């Protein structure tokens, strides 16, 4: 093949030793022209005659050329060698195209067989997916039914717990109302010792209900009336502006951070 012949020729050419350009002769020529230029300069007239100036310029130019030419020639040889090496590599790569083509043909045959196996696997996978989809659907329906039944049962239990919570919450507030009424009566009885004892009993009861989240709202006489936490005995009565609380008639409560009953107070006249 022509490409093989070209490749062999280039390989033989690249394998031949590159003869280096001798630079000694150029140095001698350069020294000769430099010496001739110096001789002309020292023996010439002052000012220089035309022919003297021409010869002096010619000697200087030839001396410079004799130094630059070897460098340029070596650079050109190096570029030619690089191009030859690159061309050899390119031809070698072209020669490998036949191997690549045979490998591609073998890979194509293998790919066709793999594609056949992949088609079979895809068909089997579709059948498995359909079967699994049916099973998943049946299992989801079963879980949905069980979840609905469990939700209904849990909803019923939550309703029972809420009702029970409301009942014991109402019972606690009633007990605390009776305790406060007892303390209020003791405070008005004029017996300090009795009032202190009942007050301690009330604080103990309040500490007990705080543990379950029921907090009494404490109002100090002299506080400014706040419609959000205070109310009068008659809910339809509007408190005057800048009204001041005189006494707490019924204790207010909050449960787990939410106000469940406002404090019933009397206003200072």
Tell me the average pLDDT across 53-59.
78
* DSSP H or E run through 237: none
Domain boundaries in the chain?
A: 2-95, 213-269
pLDDT recorded at residue 205: 92
Which residue carries 């020292």 as its tokens?
A: 42
What are the residues facing 254 on neighbouring strands?
A: 215, 259
Q: Which CATH architecture has domain 213-269?
A: Roll (2.30)
Reported confidence tier of residue 3, pLDDT bands at 50, 70, 90 = very low
What are the residues facing 266 on neighbouring strands?
A: 247
Contact at 8 Å (CB) between 255 and 169?
yes
Q: Is residue 261 classed as helix, strand or coil in its secondary structure?
A: strand
Arithmetic mean of pLDDT over the chain: 80
Distance CA 45, CA 193 (A): 144
Q: Out of 20-24, 199-203, 217-221, 236-240, pick the least confident.
A: 20-24
Find how far residue 198's CA is from the centre of its chain. 64
pLDDT recorded at residue 200: 93
Reported confidence tier of residue 15, pLDDT bands at 50, 70, 90 = very low
pLDDT recorded at residue 201: 92
pLDDT recorded at residue 17: 46
- Could you tell me the CA-to-CA distances from 163 to 15, 153, 168, 204, 259 in Å, in that order? 104, 16, 9, 27, 18
Angle at 255 between CA 249 and CA 258, to 5 degrees: 95
Asked if the model's pLDDT at residue 4 lies above 60, the reply is no
Distance CA 52, CA 41 (A): 8
Contact at 8 Å (CB) between 88 and 14?
yes
Tens-place pLDDT, residues 112-122: 888 888 888 88
pLDDT recorded at residue 207: 92
Intra-chain end-to-end CA distance of the chain, in Å = 125
Tens-place pLDDT, residues 81-132: 788 777 777 767 776 777 777 788 878 888 888 888 888 888 888 888 888 8
Asked if the model's pLDDT at residue 7 lies above 90, the reply is no
Distance CA 172, CA 199 (A): 18
Distance CA 68, CA 75 (A): 11
Tens-place pLDDT, residues 161-179: 888 888 888 898 899 989 9
Asked if the model's pLDDT at residue 134 lies above 80, the reply is yes
């Amino acid at each position: 093949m022509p490409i093989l012949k070209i490749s062999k020729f280039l390989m033989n050419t690249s394998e031949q030793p590159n003869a280096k350009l001798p630079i000694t002769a150029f140095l001698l020529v350069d020294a000769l022209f430099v010496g001739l230029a110096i001789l002309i300069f020292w023996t010439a007239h002052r000012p220089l005659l035309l022919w003297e100036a021409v010869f002096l310029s010619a000697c200087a130019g030839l001396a410079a050329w004799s130094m630059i030419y070897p460098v340029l020639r070596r650079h050109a040889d190096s570029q030619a060698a690089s191009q030859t090496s690159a061309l050899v590599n390119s031809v070698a790569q072209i020669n490998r195209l036949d191997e690549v083509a045979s490998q591609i043909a073998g890979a194509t045959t293998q790919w066709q067989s793999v594609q056949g196996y992949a088609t079979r696997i895809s068909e089997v996978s579709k059948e498995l997916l359909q079967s699994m989809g049916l099973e998943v659907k049946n299992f989801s329906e079963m879980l949905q039914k069980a979840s609905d039944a469990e939700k209904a049962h849990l909803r019923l239990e939550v309703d029972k717990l809420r009702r029970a919570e409301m009942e014991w919450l109402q019972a606690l507030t009633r007990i605390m109302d009776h305790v406060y009424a007892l303390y209020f009566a003791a405070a008005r009885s004029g017996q300090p010792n009795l009032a202190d004892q009942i007050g301690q009993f009330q604080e103990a009861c309040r500490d007990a209900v705080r543990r379950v989240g029921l907090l009494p709202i404490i109002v100090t006489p002299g506080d400014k009336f706040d419609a959000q936490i205070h109310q009068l005995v008659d809910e339809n009565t509007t408190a005057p502006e800048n009204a001041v609380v005189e006494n707490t008639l019924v204790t207010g409560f909050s449960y787990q951070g939410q106000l469940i009953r406002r404090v019933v107070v009397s206003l200072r006249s």
